[in-house]
């Protein structure tokens, strides 16, 4: 089992695109909307939306029931991110990355910070819940 801190650090540092999802709780593009022909704007929107879905799920974790619920939501987001990565062949050049995130860098940093903060909070306040959450988080492709 990976520690919660390693998972949080790995996820917060993950800039490699992945993805698919569902629109159940997301406004705008999700990973399932992305194809190899998608614009940089759409890819960035989908990536940030899927990461926001993860952050939102993690912020509500405070007991076993909420951890299980969050794991289901994280699964959808990670599936979206992984599908997106496969669609884009897992490769985003430095220039393409700048196009995707250049104008949304502050948003990206904010959502990654939310994820890292939540993972650290859960690890310190509810370490017994980390297995439930980490199982889905660890599925994110690099």
Are 51 and 8 a contacting pair, CB within 8 Å? no
| Angle between helix 64-87 and 130-137 (nearest 10) | 10
Q: How far apart are CA 132 and CA 142, in angstroms?
A: 20
List the pLDDT tens digit at each of the 142 positions of the chain. 344 433 433 443 443 333 333 455 567 899 899 988 888 889 999 999 999 999 999 999 999 999 999 999 999 999 999 998 888 876 666 667 777 888 888 999 999 999 999 999 999 999 999 999 998 989 887 5
Distance of CA 65 to the CA centre of its chain: 21
Tokens of 43: 């890819």
**pTM: predicted TM-score of the whole model, two decimal places:** 0.78
Residue 83, classed as helix, strand or coil, is helix
């Amino acid at each position: 089992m990976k520690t919660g801190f390693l998972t949080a650090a790995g996820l917060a540092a993950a800039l490699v695109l992945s993805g698919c999802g569902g629109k159940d709780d997301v406004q705008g593009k999700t990973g399932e909307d992305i194809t190899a022909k998608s614009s940089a704007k759409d890819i960035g929107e989908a990536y940030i939306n899927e990461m926001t879905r993860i952050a939102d799920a993690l912020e509500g974790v405070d007991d076993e029931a909420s951890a299980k619920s969050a794991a289901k939501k994280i699964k959808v987001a990670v599936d979206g991110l992984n599908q997106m990565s496969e669609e884009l062949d897992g490769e985003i050049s430095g220039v393409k990355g700048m196009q995707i995130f250049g104008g949304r860098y502050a948003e990206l940093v904010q959502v990654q910070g939310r994820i890292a903060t939540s993972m650290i909070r859960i690890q310190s306040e509810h370490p017994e819940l980390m297995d439930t959450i980490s199982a889905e988080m660890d599925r994110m492709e690099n």
